[in-house]
């Protein structure tokens, strides 16, 4: 059961990275300048660069990476379908806030993993370097056009809502992953209060990211 | 003049890589399976991964990478606009044959550079690893549907024609690059016969790639 949960988690993260790559690469086409395009493409490539190590670990655990990713394609594809950016700033915020949310969620789950897998998952989430670019661009745009701030704040709420919807869907469908959080005879898990606190932490970090962009959450 | 030509060349290769990244990432959406998508996205990321070293070298030469790339955007964008793949197999062939053509062309020019720059350019062109995937997929598809071979052979000719058109355009517009090939008082250059032999070599390598795919050239 523990092994199944780990394979699930690695599969979800790997497909998430592939999917993030695709969307970022697509969003790069909306970039207003070649400099912006290169910045977004760098983020896209960084996401994709993490896939290989995740696939290797899934193979080490005796599973097929593509089979491991399959159960998460619908939820992740739906998330992206329901949050297709309509302009460059929505793309930037999705890249920053959406990936930040997913990373926080995976990082919370990673706390329940063995140290090796935890390190791998946490390493695959680390992309602090790109945040500064997004923050600078969004803040500059809002100070030039304050009405943009209202629209982008709503966009941030929509990203959060859709992420929770799809996360709930995954939790309902994947018993092993849910059991990882709930614990087992040999491992401590989370009671409902602890799950509540986990979501509080994720929500707080989301609010902090929105505030950094100069947006209400 | 030599420095200008080197900056031109590095700018052209860098923008070519960025552009290849964009097109491959876009083509990945047509992939018939997640395995194929990952294979194409790997090619896209590999192209993009080479940009940073080229930009660094341009900065070392005292120029701005974005200014260095600017003169080549029209020709490279037009090449892609005129060769937008209409299906997955046209994408695969463009990835293999189109990038191969560009690489051969840059490799020929690189022979006229100082060793450091030459090594950098040649390293940024090396992507042998991906060819096997494309060759296997295309050969399997043609043996399943031999009519596909005729259509894809025409596609290969179109890629070649468009590449030559745009290369000629660049040569006509960029004096420093042309002078690099033509030589100067301190460096040997190419006479017309040598330029002819260069194009013969490029054409022969194109034909070899087409043959490897099982296609007439």
With 0-12 CB in 10 A as exposed, 13-18 as middle and 19+ as buried, what is B136?
A: exposed
pLDDT at A16 over 80: yes
Is there a domain that residue A177 lies in? yes
Is there a domain that residue A41 lies in? yes
pLDDT at B15 over 90: yes
Is there a domain that residue A217 lies in? no
Question: What's the pLDDT score for residue A184?
Answer: 65
pTM, two decimals, is 0.81
Give the whole-angstrom CA distance, residue B82 versus residue A162. 38
Question: What's the pLDDT score for residue B105?
Answer: 82
Please indicate whether, in this complex, the C-beta atoms of B38 and A49 are within 8 angstroms of each other: no
Question: What's the pLDDT score for residue A122?
Answer: 85
pLDDT at A127 over 80: no
pLDDT at A49 over 90: no
Give per-residue pLDDT as tens, B72-120: 999 999 999 999 999 999 999 998 888 888 888 888 888 888 888 888 8
The CATH number that applies at residue B87 is 1.20.1260.10
**Tally of domains within chain A:** 1
Is there a domain that residue B217 lies in? no
pLDDT at A117 over 80: yes
Q: Which domain holds residue A192?
A: 2-212
Contacts of A26 in chain B (CB under 8 A): 25-26, 29
The dihedrals phi and psi of B42, each to the nearest 5 degrees, come to -65, -40
Q: What is the average pLDDT across A40-67?
A: 92
Q: Are A105 and A167 in contact, with CB atoms under 8 Å apart? A: yes
Question: What's the pLDDT score for residue B185?
Answer: 60
Is there a domain that residue B64 lies in? yes
The dihedrals phi and psi of A114, each to the nearest 5 degrees, come to -65, 155
Residue A66 is nearest to which of B35, B49, B69, comparing CB atoms? B35
H helix runs in A34-146, sequence order:
34-49, 51-60, 65-69, 73-82, 88-93, 99-110, 115-123, 131-144
pLDDT at B211 over 90: yes
pLDDT at B186 over 70: no
The dihedrals phi and psi of A183, each to the nearest 5 degrees, come to 85, 180
Q: Are A19 and A77 in contact, with CB atoms under 8 Å apart? A: yes
Take residue A112 and report the two structure tokens written for it: 């329940």
Give per-residue pLDDT as tens, B17-61: 999 999 989 888 889 999 999 989 988 888 898 899 999 999 999
Contacts of A28 in chain B (CB under 8 A): 22, 25
Share of chain A above pLDDT 90, in %: 46
3-state secondary structure of B184: strand
Distance spanning both ends of chain B, measured CA to CA: 37
Is there a domain that residue A27 lies in? yes
Give the whole-angstrom CA distance, residue A22 versus residue B100. 24
- Contacting residues for B80 by C-beta, under 8 A, at least 6 apart: B19, B23
Is there a domain that residue A178 lies in? yes
Q: What is the average pLDDT across A67-86?
A: 93
Interface of A with B (CB under 8 A): 18, 21-22, 25-26, 28-29, 34-35, 37-38, 41-42, 44-45, 48-49, 51, 66, 69-70, 73
Residue A25 is nearest to which of B25, B35, B69, comparing CB atoms? B25
Give per-residue pLDDT as tens, B149-166: 999 999 999 999 888 888
pLDDT at B128 over 70: no
pLDDT at A28 over 70: yes
Is there a domain that residue B61 lies in? yes
């Amino acid at each position: 059961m523990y092994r199944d949960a780990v394979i699930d988690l690695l599969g979800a993260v790997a497909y998430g990275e592939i999917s993030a790559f695709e969307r970022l690469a697509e969003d790069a086409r909306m970039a207003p300048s070649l400099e912006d395009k290169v910045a977004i493409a760098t983020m896209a490539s960084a996401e994709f660069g993490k896939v290989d190590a995740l696939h290797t670990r899934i193979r080490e655990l005796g599973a097929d990476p593509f089979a491991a990713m399959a159960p998460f394609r619908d939820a992740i594809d739906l998330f992206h379908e329901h949050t297709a950016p309509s302009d460059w700033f929505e793309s930037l915020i999705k890249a920053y806030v959406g990936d930040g949310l997913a990373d926080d969620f995976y990082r919370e789950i990673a706390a329940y993993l063995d140290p090796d897998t935890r390190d791998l998952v946490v390493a695959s989430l680390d992309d602090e370097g790109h945040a500064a670019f997004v923050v600078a661009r969004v803040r500059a745009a809002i100070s030039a056009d304050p009405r943009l701030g209202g629209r982008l704040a709503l966009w941030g709420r929509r990203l959060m809502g859709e992420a929770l919807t799809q996360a709930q869907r995954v939790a309902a469908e994947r018993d092993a992953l849910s059991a990882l959080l709930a614990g087992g005879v040999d491992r401590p898990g989370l009671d409902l209060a602890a799950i509540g606190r986990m979501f509080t932490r994720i929500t707080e970090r989301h609010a902090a990211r929105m505030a950094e962009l100069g947006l209400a959450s």
